Structures are given as structure tokens and as C-alpha cells.
Structure 1
């Protein structure tokens, strides 16, 4: 019997609040650690999962774990890229023999830059970890069959997150998926079956796909029917998932969703009244029909719609954003939004490159700022007023009474088509957008807040950028923020190979030589 190996898989996260808090009620949440764990042989591996979303910064709340693993696997969203570096520095300082494999959106966005920090830079999907385990540990440590470890994913004990498709069939200009350019695919049905089999009984099954219907209605229906067969046995009650506008174009999709237990769908509305901007961002599917009409059709059909709006301060005036809020408050047929985020110039996307060419990226913008609550673009309105909107306006400050009355009218409007659970879900969305910290991380609601500027050029760094545990001198630079744009407004040469087209890459290199 081979010697047992210790595997630690961490989902890395930076809270918007810039504090060491736990967002215990976050929804949706990470499923990647449970899926990654499913590729390791449970007979030869001791596996532990840790999710910084729910459990807080690892070195603050569970520092003993950092010296434990033989293999450290890290993943996270784009803005969390620096957290991967922090944990790598801690783990290597505790145990120089540890092997570190890193993946996720941030690593995919900066593949060349990432290779200097990690032993394995993973740019593929979760199954790539099997190749890493085989190479660094040996074949005996790879599972013979995929066996996702929901039993270890302590943060999703009531919800059943699963992945039935990958990436997206659309290429919206501002989307991080467009930046990395991976094609949409639907894995074999055995992959979905394994996830449903291993998660046990759950009230809600969440399709953690970027776009559940990207391969057409036939494939979508086949996957939903796999769910429905288990729902009929009592394993699940509802399902939810991410869709695009195309889902609502055919009434049959709405009827089918309701009949198979759909409690809600998430969609990127982005804007109710700016079809020009949507077209510029290659999201033309949102301009084909009225967004208001599509949301009404779905809710009348028994499917609650949850959605987000995008505020692009380079193209959207504050007057226009206030009109968006008024459209919602004045129309009881529109559900409350789940979030309103500031447009993010994800590195490598067409949106990033357009903003760079127009000189709109603010100086001293970091990967840490790619999270939707930080202004990283030169706005068309006065900056202080824009910051006020980011700080409070997107939480319906100035509209709260109208927003609450809207919710009451919304619930009354759809009392016959939406059930009690859907009404509760909608009301929770209302509370979460008005007071996100109190709802998502109630333990932090009474803590003294970090004073933020909400502007990338002047924003405070999280306290964890100062090491809290001993770090070897050779890894101290891992705690420097990953800079995208320098103080002169130019792309950082260290990331140029990843974020610039070839012509701009050469120009940047020439500027560096002149300096």
C-alpha cells in the first residue's frame, strides 16, 4: 500500500469589505473544491477542503492547515488572484517540499505571469487536476472514477451545486470567459450523474453552469430530465441555474422549467434601456426583446427571475443609472435585482483592450480591483458623485422606501403564479442588495468598517497583504499586489504577454527599453 498523501484544496476569496470576515450565507457558492477532490483516490489520499468565502482567510482562522498538505490546490475568481500567491508563500515557508497547483479565473487571465509562482499552472477544467496528481504523486493517488466529495464541502450542506456544462456560447465583450476564450462544452452525462449521486438529498439543486442552455434546448432538456428523475424519488425539490435571454424567447422553455421544479433562473439583464451599449459589448441577444416583457413572461409562467445590472461609468451617466433604479421601483412586474456592479475591465477581454486604447483605465489598477465595487475606469461624471453611487446608490440609497414598496407590489402582482418559497427568495434578494454584509455575513454587520475610497488608484489594500505568519524572504514579493496598470496609465510589462494583443505588446516592450 503506497504512503498516504495529504491534499488541501482551497477556494480563495477577497470580501468586498476589505476585512477578515466570513460570508456564511453566500449564494451561489463555490463547487470547484468538491469536484477537484473527486479526482483523488480516497484510499491513498487524506483530503481536506477549505472555502474562504464562508470560513474567512485561511491564515487567520485555520493557520495550522498551511503546513499540513503534500499537495496544495488553489482556485478562485479573478479578483482573488493575489490570495493564491499569499497562500503559496505561507505554505512554502512552512513546508518547502509542498507542491502547489493553481487554477481558476485569475490564473486563466494571467497564464504566463502565473507560471513563475506555482508548480502547476492549470488552465483547463477541473479534470486537469488528475494529470497533476498523476505526475507529482503517482498513478496510485488518482481515482479510478470521478467521485465528487460533497461530504467534505461543509459550506453547501443544504444546496446541491453541480456543473453540467462549461464556459459560454456567447462572447460578451466585458465577460471574463470571453477573455480566456475557452469554448462551450457539455461533458458526458456520466459526469452530471456522478455529482447528483454523491450529493445526497438536497432541497435545491443548483446548475453552476455559466449558461445552462448553450448547446440548445435538446441538450438542456436532457440534463433537466436527469434531474427530474431524481426529483421524482424525493432527492431534490427545486432546481435553479444560469441562463441568457434566449431561454425566455420560447414559452415552452418556461413551461418546461416550471413543470420540472425550477424555483428560479439567473440572467444578466445588464441594462433595461441601453441597447446601444449592449450591442457594443456583443450582447445583442439582450436587445431582441424588451427585458421587462421577458421578466414578466417568466414570472407569470411560474419561474422567478434573478438578475444583475452593469454600471459602465465610461458610458452610463448617473442620470441614466438613476433611471434604471426608477424603472425597477415603478414597475411591480420587474423582480428586484440581485446585484448592480460597476463594469469590470477583466484583463484580456475586448472591454479591457477598448478601455486601454481610449486611456480610460485608472492608474495603479490591480487584479484585486476586478470585483465590481471599485471604480477602475475614468467616469464621464464627476468622480465623487460616481463613488457615492458605487457606495450607496447601487444599494438603492435614496430609493429605499420606493424599493420596499415595489417589493410589496411585486409580491402582490405574482401571488398566484409564484409559490411561497419563490416569494421568500425574492424578498431575500431585496434584503441582500440593500444590506449585503448583514445578510451574507451577519457576523460582520456590527464590526467597524474599513474606510474605502472605492477608486483603484487610492483604494486601501486588505490587511492580509501584510503577512500574518512568518514568510521566507524569497516569497515576500508574493504579497505585492498584482499590478495591471502602472501610475503612468501603461500596462504593467510583467503582465503584457497575457493582457495585450501582439502589436501593443511590442509597443510596451519598446517603452520599457527606453526607460
Structure 2
């Protein structure tokens, strides 16, 4: 009889606050661990999932899990890349025989660099774990058929996350998806069916796609009809998901969404006031129609729109950003934004390359800083301290809070006949979350003493978890150094050059010193 294997799958995360906190109310949230777990044979594997978004840093809140697994599977966003290294170092120290497989956006951004740290560097989608299982453990540990383990995903309650398509059909210059260059695809329908079946009854079904309608309206409608059949049977009440501006171009898409139970859609508005910047970033789909008009049409059509704005301090003046806030506050037809983030120069993107060519990347910028609340670019239009003040408080509507709350009241009155009570509640939660994200998303941390951040990559404090709190073998101590992208001289770190620079810009020496 085969020995049972212990499998730990972790979604890693760094909170903006630089503290060991739990974001228990985070939405959207991770689905990859539940999908990855679906490829392990339950007859031969004991599988556990851990999500650092909701449960905090693994070694802080559940250190007993560090030495438990025979295989550790890690995934996470770009800015959380160093957490992959931390947990690998802990696990390898506690159990030198543990097999570590890592994937996700951070690994895709630094594929060559990553191979020095993990037993398996996974650059594909979740099904790649099947080959890892077969090679590392043996065919007996691979599930006979894919069966997502939502029963182990303790952080998924009312929302049922699933994946019906991958990547994006657009190539926006600042997007991390553009940086890794993977094509948009829609997996076979039985992949979606397996997820919906495994989810059981949930109030809200969330399409965790980057762009649900990237393959055109026909495929979009086919997937929604699969959902609608289950909704009619009582399994789901609403659906939500990510779209682009193209979704709003045809009223029939809005009507179809409302008729099939859409509670909201997420879209990257990015800017109400700068078509030139949108064009420079190859996001021309947002320049075809007036953004405010599209949002009004959707809300009048019974579909709540949730969205984000981008602040690029190399292209946007603070006066312009204040105009963006005023546009929102003065127009009750515009929903509240869910977030305003500082432009992120993701490695490998055209935005990163352009910023590097223009000497705009700040010295000592790390992967850790790729999260939207840290200034990584030299401001060109306003004094740096004023830019920092906006990042720290302005993007939370400081100075506009009374007007913003009044706007929300007028917004609710404006759409009281087209949006239902659940949609209005969702919109009001978004208003509270952008003004006080820690209190709403991680209420347990609201009263804790805050870490004093600089919000500038060059001087930003490191999270406390960069100092090991558990034993770490000497050969893994360097895993706790921050992964450097731009050195103190403003040049790309040679250790990551093969991943972030085009071939003509890479060093040609036979050996590159691995500086981190």
C-alpha cells in the first residue's frame, strides 16, 4: 500500500499595512488553492489549504504547519514573491526532504530567477500541478479526475469563486498579464461545470476571470447560461466578475447580465480625465466612450459597477487627481470606486521598460513594492512629499470625505429604482472600504498601533517577517533578503535582468553575480 503524502497548499500575501494582520473580509479572494487541491488523489493524499490573506502569516499564526507537509505548493501575487521564499526556507529547514512547487504571478514575472529557489517552478496554469505530482510523488497521488476542493477552502463562504477563462485579450502597458505574455483562453466547459458542482449552494458565484468576455459575446453567453441553469435550480442567487469597457458597449450585454442575476461587475476605469494616458498604456478601449456615461448606463440597466483608478505620478498631476475625485463627488450617477492605486511598474511590462528607459524607477525598488501603495517612480509634476501625502491619505478621499459621503447618499437615491437592496449595500461597503480599508477588510487590526511607513520604495520599511521567527538553515538565510529589481544606482539588478529586460539590454558576460 502506498504511503499517504501530506500536502500543504498556501496562498501567500503581504498586507499593505506591513503588519501581521488578517484581512478576513477581503473580496475578491484566492481560488487557486482550491483548484490546485483538486488534482491530488484524496485516497493517497492528506491535503490542507492555508490562505495568508484571511489567516495571516503562516509562521506567525500556525507555525506547527511549517514542518508538516511532504509537498508544499505555493502561489501568490507579484508583490508577494518574497513570501514564497520565506516559506520555502522555513519548510526546507524543518524538513529537508519536502518538495516545494511555486507558481503564480510573482514566479511568472521572474521565471529564470525563480528556478534557483524552488524544486518546481510552475509558469503555467493550475493543471500544471498534475505533471509535478506525477514526477515528484508518482501517478498514484494524482487524482483520477479534477475535483476542486472548496470543502478545504475555509475562507470561501458566501462567495463561490471559480475560473471560466484565463488571462486577457487586451495588452494594457501597465498590466502584469501583459508582462508575462500569456494568451487569453477559455478552458472546456466541463472545467467550469466541475467547479460549479463542487461549490454547492452559494449566494454569490464569482467569475474569478481577468476578463470574462474576452472571447466574445457568444462564449460569454454560453458560460452564463451554464450558470443560469444552476441559478434556476436554486444553487446560486447572483453572479459577479471582471470585465472591460467592451462589456458596456452593447446594452444587450447589460440586459443579459441583469436577467441572469448579475449583482455587480468589476472594471478598470483607470481614469475619468486622461484619454492621453490611457492611449499611452494601450488601453484604448477605455477611450471609445465617456466612462461616466458607461457607468450610468450599466447602473440604470440594473448592474452595479465596481472599479478602480490609477495614479501615475509621472503622468498625472495632483491637480488632475483632485479633479478625478471631484468628478466622482459631484456626479451622483457615478458609483464609488473600490480603490485608487499608485501605478505599479510590474517587471516585464512595457510600462516597466519605459520607466526604466526614462530613468524614472526609484533606487532600491523591490518586488515587495509592487502592490500599489508604494511610490516606485520619480514624480515629474509635483513635489515628492505632496505625492506621498496623496498616496497616504488623498486616495482615501482625505479632504473630500464629507462630499464623498454625500455623493453616496445621492447615488443611492439616484438608482433606488434600478438597483436592489443587496447592490446598494455592496456599494455602501465599497464606500467604507476605500475610506478605511483596514477597519473594513481587517477589522481585528483597526486598533493596533500602525507601522510608520514612508510609502517610497527607496526608504520603505520591510515587514517584520523578513526577520525569521523560526529556525532557518544557513543555506536558506539569503531567502529573507528582499528581491531587488532596481539597485541603488537606478539600474536593473543583474540577477533579474534575464527576466525583466529585452535580450538586447541583458548582460553578455558568462556569469552574472547573484545580487539581491
Matched, 1:484 2:485: yes
1:135 matched residue in structure 2: 135
Could you list the per-position Cα deviations for residues 180-208 of structure 1 after superposition, in whole angstroms to 9, with x for gaps in the alignment?
Answer: 00000000000000000001100000000
Matched, 1:333 2:310: no
Change (3 A) 1:300 1:142: same
TM-score by length of 2: 0.98
2:364 matched residue in structure 1: 364
Q: Quote how far apart the aligned CAs of 1:502 are.
A: 1.1
1:405 matched residue in structure 2: 406
Could you list the per-position Cα deviations for residues 17-59 of structure 1 after superposition, in whole angstroms to 9, with x for gaps in the alignment?
Answer: 0000000000000000000000000111000000000000000
Q: Distance in 2 between matches of 1:509 and 1:461?
A: 33
Q: Quote how far apart the aligned CAs of 1:509 are.
A: 8.7
Matched, 1:442 2:443: yes
1:71-470 matches, cutoff 5 A = 71-380=71-380, 381-470=382-471
Q: Quote how far apart the aligned CAs of 1:273 are.
A: 1.2
Q: Distance in 1 between matches of 2:502 and 2:250?
A: 39
Could you list the per-position Cα deviations for residues 473-502 of structure 1 after superposition, in whole angstroms to 9, with x for gaps in the alignment?
Answer: 000000000000000000000000000011
Q: Distance in 2 between matches of 1:464 and 1:510?
A: 31
1:39-54 matches, cutoff 5 A = 39-54=39-54
Q: Distance in 2 between matches of 1:511 and 1:378?
A: 28
Say whether the 8 Å CA contact 1:493–1:509 is kept in structure 2.
no
Change (3 A) 1:20 1:286: same
Q: Distance in 2 between matches of 1:511 and 1:239?
A: 49
Say whether the 8 Å CA contact 2:77–2:104 is kept in structure 1.
yes
Q: Distance in 1 between matches of 2:310 and 2:59?
A: 34
Say whether the 8 Å CA contact 2:88–2:100 is kept in structure 1.
yes
Q: Distance in 1 between matches of 2:91 and 2:63?
A: 10
Say whether the 8 Å CA contact 2:494–2:507 is kept in structure 1.
no
Say whether the 8 Å CA contact 2:180–2:348 is kept in structure 1.
yes
Say whether the 8 Å CA contact 1:491–1:508 is kept in structure 2.
no
Q: Distance in 2 between matches of 1:138 and 1:184?
A: 31
TM-score by length of 1: 0.99
Aligned to 2:101, the other structure's residue is in SS state strand
Q: Distance in 2 between matches of 1:270 and 1:65?
A: 40
Could you list the per-position Cα deviations for residues 420-478 of structure 1 after superposition, in whole angstroms to 9, with x for gaps in the alignment?
Answer: 00000000000000000000000000000000000000000000000000100000000
Aligned to 1:67, the other structure's residue is in SS state coil
Q: Distance in 1 between matches of 2:159 and 2:318?
A: 37
Q: Distance in 2 between matches of 1:242 and 1:225?
A: 17
Q: Distance in 2 between matches of 1:108 and 1:505?
A: 18
Q: Distance in 2 between matches of 1:39 and 1:216?
A: 30
1:494 matched residue in structure 2: 495
Say whether the 8 Å CA contact 1:263–1:303 is kept in structure 2.
yes
Q: Quote how far apart the aligned CAs of 1:343 are.
A: 0.2
Q: Distance in 2 between matches of 1:434 and 1:505?
A: 43
Q: Distance in 1 between matches of 2:497 and 2:440?
A: 39
Q: Distance in 2 between matches of 1:344 and 1:424?
A: 30
- Number of equivalences: 513
Say whether the 8 Å CA contact 2:248–2:298 is kept in structure 1.
yes
Aligned to 1:172, the other structure's residue is in SS state coil
Q: Quote how far apart the aligned CAs of 1:412 are.
A: 0.2
Say whether the 8 Å CA contact 1:493–1:508 is kept in structure 2.
no
Q: Quote how far apart the aligned CAs of 1:399 are.
A: 0.1
Q: What's the C-alpha RMSD, in Å, of the aligned pairs?
A: 1.2
Q: Quote how far apart the aligned CAs of 1:506 are.
A: 3.3
Say whether the 8 Å CA contact 1:228–1:260 is kept in structure 2.
yes
1:26-41 matches, cutoff 5 A = 26-41=26-41
Aligned to 1:506, the other structure's residue is in SS state coil
Change (3 A) 1:98 1:383: same
Change (3 A) 1:352 1:373: same
Q: Distance in 2 between matches of 1:506 and 1:142?
A: 41
Could you list the per-position Cα deviations for residues 58-116 of structure 1 after superposition, in whole angstroms to 9, with x for gaps in the alignment?
Answer: 00000010100000000000000000000000000000000000000000000000000
